[in-house]
A and B are shown apart, each in its own frame.
Chain A
Amino acid sequence: DAMVIQNPRYQVTQFGKPVTLSCSQTLNHNVMYWYQQKSSQAPKLLFHYYDKDFNNEADTPDNFQSRRPNTSFCFLDIRSPGLGDAAMYLCATSGEGTQPQHFGDGTRLSIL
């Protein structure tokens, strides 16, 4: 059974039109992460939540925001998507920082 679920699997949006990607987990993990992965590249951490504490990576554009309303759900909001934001967005969870991360299968975002 899937433990980290991302919806939708594929998302198409227009240039500049806000979009929200969602992630849910059944693992009851403290930490939830959002990564951006472009073609043939490694996942790049955007931000993470430890419980309700939000931690943004220094090089994450302001265009990207996140919400975690409860332990199970986390959202990635892209306020004004540009063509360079087309990528796979991966959600992951872990119990603590130095533990293996459990990834969802990602949402592939296309920008028209």
Chain B
Amino acid sequence: GESVGLHLPTLSVQEGDNSIINCAYSNSASDYFIWYKQESGKGPQFIIDIRSNMDKRQGQRVTVLLNKTVKHLSLQIAATQPGDSAVYFCAENTGGFKTIFGAGTRLFVKA
């Protein structure tokens, strides 16, 4: 059977509050960053991306912040809803075809 995986970091928020999910990336040469949402039993779903020439990008209810100095990426979700409950992965790309996923954070939204 499957090997036992590591426990994911978990963030628990109240419905309606804002959520902030943080990610440290590893390669200073990475220039393209993506956030994915993965619900149970499904594949990862694209949320938002940002390139290294930007430090902030906004989507619908989501904002990604990039700090290249400290190699840090964050995803902010405004007015978190129960449907936002999922595992969130940050991912980095150095300009080729290899995307490296971070460990993931499990978001629980309490009604």
A-side residues, CB < 8 A to B, are 4, 31, 33, 38-45, 48, 50, 55, 57, 83-84, 86-87, 90, 92, 97-98, 100-106, 110-111
Q: Provide the residues of chain A in CB contact with B32, threshold 8 Å.
A: 98
Q: How far is the CB of A44 from chain B (nearest CB, A)?
A: 8
B-side residues, CB < 8 A to A, are 1-8, 31-32, 34, 36, 41-46, 49, 51, 89, 93, 95-104
A-B contacts, 7 listed (Cβ < 8 Å)? A45-B100, A98-B31, A98-B93, A101-B99, A105-B43, A106-B42, A110-B1
Contact assessment for A86 and B2 in the assembled complex, using a CB-CB cutoff below 8 Å: yes
Q: Which of A39, A100, A106, A111 contacts B43, CB < 8 Å? A: A106
Q: Provide the residues of chain A in CB contact with B5, threshold 8 Å.
A: 38-41
Cα(A100)–Cα(B27), bound, Å: 19
Q: Which 7 A-B pairs have the closest CB atoms?
A: A103-B43, A40-B5, A42-B101, A39-B5, A97-B97, A100-B46, A98-B32
Q: Provide the residues of chain A in CB contact with B102, threshold 8 Å.
A: 42
Q: Provide the residues of chain A in CB contact with B45, threshold 8 Å.
A: 103
Contact assessment for B95 and A98 in the assembled complex, using a CB-CB cutoff below 8 Å: yes
Secondary structure of the B contact surface, majority rule: loop
Q: Which of B31, B49, B51, B97 contacts A31, CB < 8 Å? A: B97
Contact assessment for A41 and B96 in the assembled complex, using a CB-CB cutoff below 8 Å: no
Contact assessment for A42 and B104 in the assembled complex, using a CB-CB cutoff below 8 Å: yes
Contact assessment for B43 and A41 in the assembled complex, using a CB-CB cutoff below 8 Å: no
Q: How far is the CB of B1 from chain A (nearest CB, A)?
A: 6
Contact assessment for A39 and B46 in the assembled complex, using a CB-CB cutoff below 8 Å: no
Cα(A111)–Cα(B54), bound, Å: 45
Cα(A84)–Cα(B3), bound, Å: 7
Cα(A105)–Cα(B43), bound, Å: 4
Cα(A92)–Cα(B31), bound, Å: 20
